[in-house]
Amino acid sequence: MTKRLSFSLDLNSNDFDALQTVLANPSAVAAAVAPNDPWENARIVDILIEMAGIVATAAKLSAEGDACGRIE
């Protein structure tokens, strides 16, 4: 079953940097969370990679909006 999630995060720059660090290291996160379960490890890596792409797109759109003088 697939579930669609939509949410909004209000992050300061330090928190955003921390999120990017987590998303840039999916294998390390998965190894810490599920060190003895290769299937769970693979699922965690896959979702973090997907989330990293979404966050990168959102950050780009936000930066473009800021450059245009829009406030969100």
> For the segment 10-27, what is each residue's pLDDT rounded down to a tens digit?
999 999 999 999 999 999
| Any domain includes 2 | no
CB 45 within 8 A of CB 23: no
Percent of the chain with pLDDT over 70: 90
pLDDT digits (tens, 9 = 90+) for 25-36: 999 999 999 999
CB 25 within 8 A of CB 32: no
| Any domain includes 53 | yes
| Phi, psi for 50 (deg, rounded to 5) | -65, -45
Residues of the domain holding 42:
27-67
| Any domain includes 37 | yes
The total domain count for the chain is 1
Tokens at 56, concatenated: 């990168």
Structure-token match 């950050």, residue found: 59
Tokens at 34, concatenated: 């599920």
C-beta atoms surrounding 48 within 10 Å:
18
